[in-house]
C-alpha cells in the first residue's frame, strides 16, 4: 500500500477552536476506507483545523511541530495518518514477530496515554493493526503479556517504557514514526533524559511529530535535536483560550469560596443548566477538603488528585461521567488529557500560580466546538495571579457579581471587586468559625506543574505525577492494553 499525499490546500492560520473546517472533508485525505469507516463511526464529519493542517503533512512523511492543545482534535491529527502509513504492515498472523512496534507515542501522563490509546484502538478497529498502552503505577505483568504478543502502535509514558525496554520486552528497532505528545509537559515533568534515551533507541530514519501547547525555547531546542526540517502547524493561538469558552471572574474572599460554588451551582439549576463541573484547586489537601465540604452542602462531589490510587481515580471518573458525581474537584494533574467533550463548566476555586495552567484548566470546557463556562473565584490576594493570566491571554477577564450570592466581607475588598457583599447568617457562620481565615485549606503550598526533585530522579516520574485515568475502557486501561476485536 502506498502512502497517499492528498492534493488539498492546507489552510493557513486556522482558528483556535476545534470547530471543524467546513471546506475539507475526511475523504479529501485519501485515508483507507477501513480508517474512514472508523472515523464516520465516531460521528466526525469534517476535520478540525489541526487535522486539516497536519494530516496531509504527516501523510507526506514530513516531520512536524504542532502547536495545539488537548481539545483541538490533535490526537486524530496524528493517529489517523499514522494508521494510514503503517497499514501496509497490518497482519492477521498471530506471530508476535509480525507485530513489531511501528509507531510510538510518548505522553507525559497516564491519563493522556490512555486517551490516545483509546483513539488509536477506535480508529484502527477495522484493521489488523494492534494498539496498546503502557504507563507506570500499575503492575507490569499484564503490559508484558501484551507487549510480548506484539503491537504496532504503542502509547507509553517514558519511565515505564524504559522499564520494558530494560527487561527486553519492548524493542524500538522497527519504529517508523515517533510522536512526542504534550512535549512541553514532558519537559516540565523532567522527562528530558528519559526522552533522550528512548529516542536514541529509535532508527534515525524515522518520522518525528512533536505536539506542544507552546513553543518555548526548550521545546525549540528539543525539536532542533530530534526533528528534521519540520513543518510547523499552529491552530491554537499561542496562549489563547478557546473562543467557545465564556470566562467570568467573581471576586470572592477565600473564606467564602465554598459557599460561592454552592450559589453558582444553585443558580445553574434555576437557569436549567447542567451542574456538571470540574473545580480546580491548587493542593491535594485542599482538593480533598473542598470535595468533602461540598458533599456536606448537598453537592455530589468527588476528588481526584495525585494521592488517590489508580482504582479510586477510575471509580471517581466513572461516577462523574455517569452523572453520579456532579462536581469533580481536581488538582492540576487532572488539567491535561482529561477528555470530557461536553464539559459545561470549569470553576477555578483558586487561581494557579502558573498562568499557563489556567489556560489548561479552562481548556477542559468549550472543547471540540462546544460552548462552555469558565468561572474563576478570585480573592483579593490573588490579584497578581489574575494580572499574570490576563497578560498571558492578552485580554481582560470579565468581572461580574456572583449570582444571588450572600457573602461575608471580612476581607479587604479588591479594587476589582464587584460582588454583592450582603452579610447573611450562613456566611457569618463561615466568617465566625474560629481559625477559618488561617485554614491551611486556603493556603496550602501549590502542587507544582513542575516535577519535584525526587520525581526527576526516579525512572518512573509519572508514577508520582499522574492524576486520573480515563474510565471508558477501564479494564483495558488498567490492564495497560487494548485487545482488538
Ligand atoms: P483531542 O484534542 O484529540 O483530545 O480531541 C478533543 C475532542 O474532539 C475529542 O473528544 C475528540 O473525540 C473530538 N474530535 C476529534 N476530532 C473531531 C472531529 N473531526 N469532529 C468532531 N469531534 C472531534
Classify residue 307 by its DSSP letter.
T
Cell numbers linked to 435:
481559625
* Distance (Å, whole) CA 116 – CA 108: 12
Give the domains, in start order, of the chain with CATH numbers: 6-234 (3.40.50.300), 245-412+423-431 (3.40.50.300)
Q: Of residues 40 and 410, which shows the higher confidence score? A: 40
Q: Could you tell me which of 387, 407, 146, 111 has the C-alpha nearest to residue 255?
A: 407
pLDDT of amino acid 171: 98
**76 in contact with ligand 1, CB cutoff 6 A:** yes
pLDDT of amino acid 338: 56
Which atom of ligand 1 is least distant from the CA of 44?
20
Q: Which of 48, 50, 213, 244 to mutate to test the pocket of ligand 1 (most atoms within 8 A of CB)?
A: 48
How much is the average pLDDT of 223-228?
96
- Cα of 72 to ligand 1 centre, how many Å? 6
Which residue's alpha carbon is nearest to atom 21 within ligand 1?
A: 44
**44 in contact with ligand 1, CB cutoff 6 A:** yes
Phi–psi pair at 468, nearest 5 degrees:
-135, 165
pLDDT of amino acid 448: 27
Q: How many CB atoms lie within 10 A of CB 404?
A: 11
Helix, strand, coil percent values for the chain (each to nearest 5): 40, 15, 45
Which long-range CB contacts under 8 A does 218-223 form with residues at least 24 apart? 218/184, 218/187, 219/183, 219/184, 219/187, 222/180, 222/183, 222/187, 222/192, 222/195, 223/65
* Distance (Å, whole) CA 153 – CA 167: 19
* C-alpha radius of gyration, the chain, whole number: 23
- Cα of 160 to ligand 1 centre, how many Å? 27
pLDDT digits (tens, 9 = 90+) for 241-271: 566 778 999 999 999 999 999 999 999 898 8
Q: Of residues 178 and 185, which shows the higher confidence score? A: 178
pLDDT digits (tens, 9 = 90+) for 323-348: 899 999 998 865 555 555 567 899 99
**73 in contact with ligand 1, CB cutoff 6 A:** yes
Phi–psi pair at 134, nearest 5 degrees:
-130, 135
The position carrying cell 502558573 is 354
C-alpha of 46 from chain center = 22
pLDDT of amino acid 479: 31
- Cα of 385 to ligand 1 centre, how many Å? 31
Which residue's alpha carbon is nearest to atom 5 within ligand 1?
A: 73
Q: Which of 18, 52, 120 to mutate to test the pocket of ligand 1 (most atoms within 8 A of CB)?
A: 18
pLDDT digits (tens, 9 = 90+) for 44-101: 888 988 999 999 999 999 999 998 877 778 999 999 999 999 999 999 999 999 999 9
How much is the average pLDDT of 98-123?
95
* Contact present, 366 and 396 (Cβ < 8 Å): no
pLDDT of amino acid 321: 85
Strand partners, 399: 249
- pTM of the shown model: 0.58
For residue 432, give every residue at least 6 positions away whose Cβ sits within 8 Å of its Cβ, in sequence order, or none: none
Which atom of ligand 1 is least distant from the CA of 18?
8
Cell numbers linked to 183:
512535549
Residues in the chain, total: 485
Q: Could you tell me which of 209, 215, 203, 211 has the C-alpha nearest to residue 230?
A: 209
pLDDT of amino acid 362: 84
- Cα of 207 to ligand 1 centre, how many Å? 23
Lowest model confidence (mean pLDDT) among 5-19, 111-125, 153-167: 5-19
- Cα of 77 to ligand 1 centre, how many Å? 9
First to last CA, the chain: 23
At residue 134 the predicted structure's pLDDT band, cuts being 50, 70 and 90, is: very high
For the chain, what is the total number of helices (H) and then of strands (E)?
A: 19, 14
* Contact present, 194 and 158 (Cβ < 8 Å): yes
Which atom of ligand 1 is least distant from the CA of 70?
2
**18 in contact with ligand 1, CB cutoff 6 A:** yes
- Cα of 163 to ligand 1 centre, how many Å? 31
Which atom of ligand 1 is least distant from the CA of 46?
19
- Cα of 43 to ligand 1 centre, how many Å? 10
Phi–psi pair at 259, nearest 5 degrees:
-65, -35
Q: Could you tell me which of 184, 183, 179, 143 has the C-alpha nearest to residue 160?
A: 143
Classify residue 451 by its DSSP letter.
P
Q: Of residues 207 and 185, which shows the higher confidence score? A: 207
Which residue's alpha carbon is nearest to atom 16 within ligand 1?
A: 73
* Distance (Å, whole) CA 76 – CA 392: 28
pLDDT of amino acid 355: 84
* Contact present, 464 and 310 (Cβ < 8 Å): no
How much is the average pLDDT of 99-123?
95
Q: Which of 71, 73, 120, 360 to mutate to test the pocket of ligand 1 (most atoms within 8 A of CB)?
A: 73
**74 in contact with ligand 1, CB cutoff 6 A:** yes
- Cα of 239 to ligand 1 centre, how many Å? 20
Strands 207-212 and 64-67: parallel
Q: What 3-state DSSP class applies to 49?
A: helix
At residue 13 the predicted structure's pLDDT band, cuts being 50, 70 and 90, is: very low
Amino acid at each position: 500500500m502506498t502512502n497517499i499525499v492528498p492534493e488539498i490546500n492546507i489552510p493557513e492560520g486556522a482558528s483556535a477552536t476545534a470547530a471543524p473546517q467546513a471546506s475539507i472533508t475526511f475523504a479529501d485525505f485519501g485515508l483507507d476506507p477501513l480508517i474512514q469507516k472508523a472515523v464516520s463511526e465516531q460521528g466526525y464529519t469534517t476535520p478540525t483545523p489541526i487535522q486539516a493542517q497536519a494530516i496531509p503533512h504527516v501523510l507526506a512523511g514530513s516531520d512536524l511541530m504542532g502547536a495545539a492543545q488537548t481539545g483541538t482534535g490533535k490526537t486524530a491529527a496524528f493517529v489517523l495518518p499514522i494508521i494510514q502509513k503503517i497499514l501496509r504492515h497490518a497482519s492477521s498472523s498471530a506471530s508476535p514477530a509480525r507485530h513489531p512496534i511501528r509507531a510510538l507515542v510518548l505522553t507525559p501522563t497516564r491519563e493522556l496515554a490512555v486517551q490516545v490509546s483509546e483513539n488509536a484502538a477506535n480508529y484502527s478497529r477495522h484493521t489488523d493493526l494492534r494498539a496498546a498502552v503502557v504507563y507506570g503505577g500499575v503492575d507490569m505483568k499484564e503490559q508484558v503479556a501484551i507487549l510480548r504478543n506484539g503491537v504496532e502502535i504503542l502509547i507509553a509514558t517514558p519511565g515505564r517504557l524504559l522499564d520494558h525496554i530494560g527487561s527486553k520486552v519492548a524493542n524500538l528497532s522497527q519504529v517508523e514514526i515517533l510522536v512526542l505528545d504534550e512535549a512541553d509537559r514532558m519537559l516540565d515533568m523532567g522527562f528530558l533524559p528519559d526522552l533522550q534515551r528512548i529516542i536514541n533507541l529509535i532508527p534515525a530514519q524515522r518520522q518525528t511529530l512533536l505536539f506542544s501547547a507552546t513553543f518555548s525555547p526548550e521545546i525549540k531546542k528539543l525539536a532542533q535535536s530530534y526533528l528534521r526540517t519540520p513543518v510547523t502547524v499552529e491552530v491554537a493561538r499561542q496562549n489563547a483560550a478557546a473562543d467557545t469558552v465564556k470566562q467570568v471572574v467573581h471576586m470572592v474572599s477565600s473564606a467564602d469560596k465554598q459557599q460561592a460554588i454552592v450559589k453558582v451551582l444553585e443558580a445553574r439549576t434555576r437557569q436549567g443548566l447542567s451542574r456538571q463541573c470540574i473545580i480546580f484547586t491548587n493542593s491535594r489537601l485542599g482538593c480533598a477538603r473542598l470535595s468533602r465540604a461540598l458533599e456536606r452542602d448537598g453537592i455530589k462531589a468527588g476528588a481526584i488528585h495525585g494521592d488517590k490510587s489508580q482504582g479510586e481515580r477510575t471509580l471517581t471518573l466513572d461516577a462523574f461521567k455517569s452523572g453520579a458525581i456532579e462536581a469533580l474537584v481536581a488538582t492540576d494533574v487532572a488539567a491535561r488529557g482529561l477528555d470530557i467533550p461536553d464539559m459545561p463548566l470549569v470553576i477555578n476555586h483558586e487561581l494557579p500560580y502558573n498562568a499557563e495552567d489556567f489556560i489548561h484548566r479552562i481548556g477542559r470546557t468549550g472543547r471540540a466546538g462546544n460552548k462552555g463556562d469558565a468561572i474563576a473565584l478570585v480573592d483579593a490576594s490573588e490579584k497578581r495571579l489574575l494580572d499574570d493570566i490576563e497578560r498571558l491571554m492578552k485580554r481582560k477577564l470579565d468581572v461580574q457579581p456572583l449570582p444571588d450570592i450572600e457573602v461575608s466581607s471580612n476581607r479587604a475588598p479588591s479594587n476589582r471587586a464587584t460582588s454583592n457583599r450582603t452579610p447573611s447568617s450562613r456566611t457569618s457562620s463561615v466568617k465566625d468559625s474560629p481559625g477559618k481565615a488561617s485554614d491551611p485549606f486556603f493556603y496550602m503550598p501549590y502542587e507544582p506543574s513542575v516535577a519535584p526533585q525526587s520525581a526527576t530522579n526516579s525512572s518512573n516520574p509519572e508514577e508520582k505525577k499522574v492524576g486520573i485515568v480515563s474510565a471508558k475502557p477501564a479494564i483495558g486501561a488498567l490492564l495497560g492494553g487494548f485487545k482488538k476485536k
